[in-house]
Amino acid sequence: MGVSGKYEILKVDPHSNARRGMLTTNHGVVETPVFMPVGTQAAVKALSPEELTGLGANIILSNIYHLNVRPGIDVIEKCGGLHQFMGWHRPILTDSGGYQVFSLAKLRKVKDNGVEFNSHFDGKRIFLGPVEAMDIQYRIGTDIAMVFDECVPYPCDRDYTCQSVEKTILWAALCAEQPRKEGQLLFGIVQGSDYADLRERCVRELTAIGFDGYAIGGVSVGEPEDVLLRGIERSTGFMPDDKPRYLMGVGRMDQILDAVSLGVDMFDCVMPTRLARNGTAFTKYGKYAVKAGEYRYDVRPIEEGCECYACRNFSRAYVRHLLNVNEILGVRLLTVHNVFKYMRFMDEIRTALDDGSFNDLKKEYTIRWHESEIKMTAEGDR
């Protein structure tokens, strides 16, 4: 294994800003662009670490706010750290809890030195700030730690966004001063809502501090598609070329392709696992509702031509039946398929960047995705 933190760009697409790279961490090399399945509470829902490895996952994400609530950081530390605790021995990136500043807005109070939460679980008071977030990530031994930031909603007025950006920059600087495990990486997070000058300022200030990678925050918070894309472009345009770029919480396939073309390297989202629990399958032709009545007698696999375990062994009719009678196997099979599909999707992107066909791949997937969206909307309106 190489030196942790080294990011090597292997190829740049001649028709866009898309990059192909490799990031070295304490627990292995991550090939980019990469999608990270989300294991918020130290588990990717419905899958074991062995299954994740078999599906092709090489890095996952967890969340220190939730781990701090349950089981408690002392438990994880006593069990040998997060990798040992969950039996996953590949890289882990941990979100610092900044997103919960947005998602748990009714249960928190933002202060100058951090955020005071009333636990969503039992109401217990929890304080998280840059010092606390870094201490937790140090103790559990994550490979990539995220700075503690304030994620604001959309829309957000300019005055509050200015204050938020100031806090985010100050907190990032304080995070950079805290102790880290040897080889532990630290990523800064860019905020600024839909204000171009604030995003630029945030990126430049974070770059001046110096981090191992840079994330685009404050997106996927209810904004329209054009605002999402602007937020990405206004952030990546000022990020250093020699560091990985991570788009937080975005996971629609067409959005991933757009973001890759803008120079993003890393992604995470609950979409493939959450939608599996709702009965939705992802395929190369888009997504569809497996629970729909039209698949009652359908002997085809979830996706024709797919080599995942679920598709090699079971029909749509069977998976639909399991989902409709609330058998947990149905959720597991659909989750296996969806995560496999996302891993193969990222393989396709990397291969296309290697051979120069990324632009064609992007066009093909985008057309298929929008056709499936139109079909699902029409079916939902019936």
Question: Catalytic residues, which ones?
Answer: 95, 268
Contact assessment for residue 228 and residue 7, using Cβ atoms and an 8 Å cutoff:
no
What separation in angstroms does the CA of 99 have from each of 35, 153, 191, 238, 353? 18, 10, 11, 23, 31
For residue 128, which of 153, 154, 99 has the smallest C-alpha distance? 99
CA angle 26, 133, 210 (to 5 degrees): 60
Tokens of 354: 């290697």
What separation in angstroms does the CA of 349 have from each of 21, 93, 260, 360? 12, 22, 9, 11
For residue 246, which of 201, 215, 288 has the smallest C-alpha distance? 215
Residues near 166 by beta carbon (within 8 Å), at least 6 away in sequence:
none
Half-sphere exposure of 366 (CA within 13 A, CB side): 13
Helices marked H in the chain — which ranges?
49-55, 64-69, 73-78, 82-86, 98-103, 130-140, 158-177, 196-209, 225-236, 253-261, 271-277, 309-313, 316-324, 328-355, 358-380
Half-sphere exposure of 219 (CA within 13 A, CB side): 30
The backbone torsions φ and ψ at residue 333, rounded to the nearest 5 degrees and listed phi first, read: -65, -40
**30 membership: H or E segment, kind and range:** strand 28-32
Helical packing angle, 358-380 and 328-355, nearest 10°? 150
What is the length of the chain?
Answer: 382
